[in-house]
A and B are shown apart, each in its own frame.
Chain A
Amino acid sequence: MRVKHTVLSGLFVITLGVAFTLIAWSVHNNLKSAGLELDFGVFWDSAGFDVSERLIPYDAGDSYARVIITGFLNTLLLALTSIITASILGVWVGFLSVSSRWSIRTLAWGFVELLRNQPKILVLLILFVVMVQTLPPVSSAWSIGGVVLSNRALLIPAIPLGDGILILGYVAAVLVWLRRRPHLTPSLLWSSLVIIAVAGWLLLRTEVPIDRPIREGFDYRGGLRISTQFLIMLLCLTLYHGAQIAEVVRGGIQAIPMGQIDAARALGLPPNRVRWLIIWPQTLRLIFPPLSNQYINTFKNTSIAIAVGYSDLMSVTGTMINQTFRPIEAMSVTIGLYMVSCLIIAAGLNRLNHRLNRHSRA
């Protein structure tokens, strides 16, 4: 028996090797007849096309390597924001779908069923068409309180990065400090008043320069610019995965024994606390594995952005292939990036799952 297995494994390895050699040989021949050869140096060539949005400085003269990284960062940004928004929507709708009120339940059910039974690309294209038909051109952009929305971009007055971090850090510090003291005592009240006074004084002294979008010729300048492509992608992934997450959450909540809820009510806990202190922690533990699956899917599904022209990893790779006709080099790098990030996300979520379940009796 043992010998047979060794022989089998050997045969398998040899077959695999032969197959790979054949493929490599064939690829080599095909490329040679097209006057090409495999060369990853292409990544250092100048890309020559512009990317509408970027998190790192980039211009058309930069290399393909840089444009790929720019696209990859866009993918990560889109994935992260849509995971957050889809989770919020999903948990919310999930709770609505177990509401004791039938009208609310029906609404939630309708939303979930409508979205779950559509291909994501159709959801995306419908949103795209609706946006194109409803949003105004730049010349008649909607402007409310400094926020400007046109069919090109959403512009928000922005606080410079340094001041933004300072303010955020300050607010976070106060919140953390207050959270550690559950009972409001007079001394606490005084000290928080002092803190707020100091904060106000600081803010008044150093005027935070706010960067507002200003109309200049045919476009707006300044402010935080969020392109409509990003918004549509964000909306699409939020709705599509929000519906899927809602279904996961609903299943989780329904799996919680009714006795838990009855006991919490009997103890006199108000409904909000029953929801967030009794139902939710247990649900989260239960649903975490399918939830992580949804997060990984969301990350992978950012790749449909190519259909609306958001410059994510897949779409810059598409442009690169069209320009250089080097699909093997481009696709191997792109697939590698997707694969590595997926595995890292999966490993991270797995660890989180273990931490969540560390204290559960099972």
Chain B
Amino acid sequence: MTWRAAYFRDRLLNGIGLVALVWILWWAFDWLIVSAIGWGGDRASCLNATGACWPFWAEKWRLMLFGTYPFESHWRPMAASLILLTLVGVTGCQCARVIFRFSVRTLSVFWVLGCIVSVILMAGGIFGLSPVPTTRWNGLPVLLLLAILSLILALPLGIGLAIARVKSQSAVIRIAAAIFVDGMRAIPMVSVLFVGIFVLPLVFPRQVNLDPMWSTLLVLIVFHAAYVAEDVRAGLESVPAGQSDAALALGLTRMQVIRHVVLPQALTQALPALLNTIIGAYKDTSLVLILGLFDLVATARMAFSDPLWQRQALEAYVLVGLWFFVSCRFLSWVGRRIDQSSVR
């Protein structure tokens, strides 16, 4: 093909692309607004509608967010989710160097407090809050709690594993860490979750009553730690050997060298990769629905399994999809900001 022909083909392609773009946008607009049944409409009119059914969202939004959590106590999962989202938002903005400038210490205190408060809010049993069993924890707070708690606890474990793998002077420890990390990364998350639900209760003595929520959290921590370790390892290996040599020559102990010289540089290097791991882990948290835990995707399914609303599956999933889109875009925005600042 000559360049002239290519030019005309390109013009043609642009036209086709434009038509497709307009068509998709119009189709979405039509589904969402034009052919949709409005917020105040009733269920019966949804049955024949070709567009979205807003009454479904109006009716089911609380079920999709909080599932079967006791209805009168919905403020509790709401508050817990808001606390966790605020923590993520503030930390994300701080990493992206926008608005907030807390010290690491303040932020850590916030995180520890926030996590404890949200678990207490969910579980109840003290401060006059009625206890709620984990089987009734559903929806958004489950997604957030599992994702955030597992990642927060996986970070130190992963960093420890990476140090053990790269910096340990004992070959046995190095090899053990390497086998663990590479082995864990070679198996799918679903199989790890299966181990958590079926095998883990057999590992603990019978006096320990491990319920599925916590055993899932436990395996998620171990699973994500392997991925964190791999990212941090790359960071550690990118720190020039001269750095630790110099620090050792200044008389620092090996632990001090790692803690104050090597690790800060390694983590800065690893941050973009770590953020990708975090986004992936957050998205994959939804896989817990395979084991019968009810995260946001599972409560969406719950909302349209109501026989009265069976045709509204797409509406339910679109809402959840929107949530994931917004939250993942926020995290990847933070990632891009970090990339930009590290180039400078």
Binding site for B on A (CB under 8 A): 5, 8-9, 12-13, 16, 23, 26-27, 29-31, 33, 99-104, 106-107, 110, 113-114, 116-122, 125-126, 129-130, 133, 270-272, 300-304, 306-307, 314, 317-318, 321, 327-328, 331, 334-335, 338-339, 342-343, 346
Contact = CB atoms under 8 A, between A and B. Distances in A.
A117 B333 CA distance: 12
Contacts of B297: 119, 121-122, 125
Contacts of B251: none
A68 to B, nearest CB: 13
A316 to B, nearest CB: 12
Interface string B282-315: 0111110110000001000100000000000110
B212 to A, nearest CB: 14
Contacts of B344: none
A30 B202 contact: yes
B40 interface: no
B325 A327 contact: no
Interface string B1-15: 111001000100111
A126 B194 contact: no
B286 to A, nearest CB: 4
B301 A125 contact: yes
B139 to A, nearest CB: 14
B106 interface: no
Contacts of B301: 125
A99 B13 CA distance: 10
18 contacts: A5-B169, A30-B201, A30-B206, A103-B17, A114-B325, A117-B328, A117-B329, A119-B285, A119-B297, A121-B290, A129-B314, A300-B189, A301-B188, A303-B190, A307-B289, A314-B194, A317-B194, A331-B198
Interface residues of B, number: 56
Contacts of B198: 321, 327, 331
Contact of A107 (B21, B183, B201, B325): B21
B171 interface: yes
B320 A122 contact: yes
Contacts, number: 158
Nearest to A339: B186
Interface string B269-289: 000000000000001111101
Contacts of B201: 30
Nearest to B182: A343
Interface of B: 1-3, 6, 10, 13-15, 17-18, 20-21, 24, 169-173, 176, 182-183, 186-191, 194-195, 198-199, 201-206, 283-287, 289-290, 297, 301, 313-314, 317, 320-321, 324-325, 328-329, 332
Nearest to A96: B17
B17 A335 contact: no
Given A103-B17, A335-B195, 16 more contacts: A9-B170, A9-B171, A12-B172, A27-B202, A30-B206, A103-B21, A104-B14, A118-B324, A121-B290, A125-B297, A125-B301, A130-B314, A271-B6, A303-B188, A304-B190, A327-B198
A101 B328 contact: no
B203 A27 contact: yes
B314 A104 contact: no
Given A117-B328, A271-B3, A342-B187, A103 B14 contact: yes
A271 B1 CA distance: 8
A107 B173 CA distance: 50
Contacts of B286: 119, 121-122
Contact of B194 (A16, A114, A318): A318
B320 to A, nearest CB: 6
A99 B198 CA distance: 50
A7 B103 CA distance: 39
A274 to B, nearest CB: 10
B17 A117 contact: no
B172 A335 contact: no
Nearest to A103: B17
A290 B17 CA distance: 29
B173 A100 contact: no
Given A13-B172, A270-B6, A300 B187 contact: yes
Contacts of A114: 325
